[in-house]
Chains A and B, each alone.
Chain A
Amino acid sequence: MKNYEDLNVLELDTIREIGSIGTGNAATALSSMLGCEVRIDMPEVRIMGYNEAIDWIGGPEVITAGVLVHMSGELNGIMLSVQQMEFVNLVLQRMVGRTVQEYEQLDDLDRSALVEVGNIMISTFINALSSLAEITTRLTVPAFAVDMQGAILTVPMAEFGGQSDYIMTIGANFICAGKAVPCQLLLSPDIRSLNFLLKKLGVLDE
């Protein structure tokens, strides 16, 4: 069993490719939902220590919205859509025709729009990944939270904390209607599933 930090270049490239296909599909879904052009920048695979990951996402105390889905079946893990204010407003403007200044102003309809956008992007990503690797993955109902992003990011960390001191994230930023909008889509598989996935794709160097 390979831990996150033991992966070689080929394995990391494969994961990056998965990330690219997944986020590409998610971007297409987002584009048709919002009715605007959506591009993605270079997808990244990062293997980070806990505190490094929190710095990378932009500091612990910044308030963001997060949509979280649990995966089970042949692939176990967590997928998270971290939605910062700019992205929230982009979605709200296009879907419900209003914007907010603060997260407190989000009403039920706004929240439901954000959950749906997150859920559809996550499901599209996982569907693309599942058909690529010919595996079946079940997803839970999406959960939504608005809070400090440090605490949101510790959810996948705590989930796999017993296995590793690192967290692996696969994700990309979205560029909507020509404007760079930070919206990280993060996939954190557990270590066993990651090994299974790489094996299934024929690149695991045992």
Chain B
Amino acid sequence: MNDKLVVGIADMKMARQNGMLVTYALGSCIGICLYDPLIQLAALVHIMLPLNMETGRKSPLKYADTGICETLRRMEAQGGSRTRIVAKIAGGARMFETPGGGNLGNIGQRNIESTHMVLRREGIRLLREDVGGTVARTLLFDAASGQACVRSYGKPELIF
């Protein structure tokens, strides 16, 4: 197994031609894999919240909307093309069932909806997804093949 590039929370990493990108323990957060197959450019961004409403916008990668746009911009700077870039996403679970717990339980669902909306708006085709439910996921993304793998607790690995 080659070295893995670890993507933290509110973080993004890119790899070209080879290398494995990984982000651990996605709960309500979403891992978005963006891939340009022609030049084998892969990016993985780990977002936490649906919409950026910060005034200073210091951490664009924390939010689905600004996170995706920023990642696309950096991919284009590396020679990626929006017309070829495709997406695979995982995450958006509901970790705790809290009756009357405010908007807590909905963050995952709102992240999924926001991610879908932003991808559609940016014209990026969503190939596969593994979202929702109540389990945490670890997402691996292979730059050579563009294949993603989801590992969760008590479930078989899912390759897509």
Contacts and interface: CB of A to CB of B under 8 A. Distances in A.
Contacts of B54: 162
A158 B8 contact: no
Interface string A110-154: 000000000000000000000000000000110111111111101
A99 interface: no
Q: Which of B11, B53, B95 has the most CB of A within 10 A?
A: B95
A145 B95 contact: yes
A150 B136 contact: yes
Contacts of B58: 165
Interface residues of B, number: 34
B154 A104 contact: yes
A157 to B, nearest CB: 7
A42 B127 CA distance: 50
Nearest to A55: B8
A60 interface: yes
A68 B96 contact: yes
Contacts of A151: 25-29, 93, 95, 136
Contacts of A141: 98-100
Interface residues of A, number: 32
B88 interface: no
A39 interface: no
Nearest to B103: A159
B134 A161 contact: no
Contacts of A68: 96, 98
Contacts of A148: 24-25, 27, 136, 138, 153
B9 A154 contact: yes
Nearest to B28: A158
B96 A145 contact: yes
B3 to A, nearest CB: 18
Contacts of A154: 9, 25, 27-29, 48, 95
B101 A143 contact: yes
A148 B138 CA distance: 9
Contacts of A54: 9, 24-25
Contacts of A158: 27-29, 48-49, 107
A61 interface: yes
B10 interface: yes
Interface string A45-82: 00000110010000011010010101010000010000
For the complex of A and B, list the 6 residue pairs with the smallest distance between their C-beta atoms, beginning with the closest: A150-B25, A151-B27, A151-B136, A60-B24, A143-B96, A60-B25
Interface of A: 50-51, 54, 60-61, 63, 66, 68, 70, 72, 78, 104, 140-141, 143-152, 154-155, 157-159, 161-162, 165
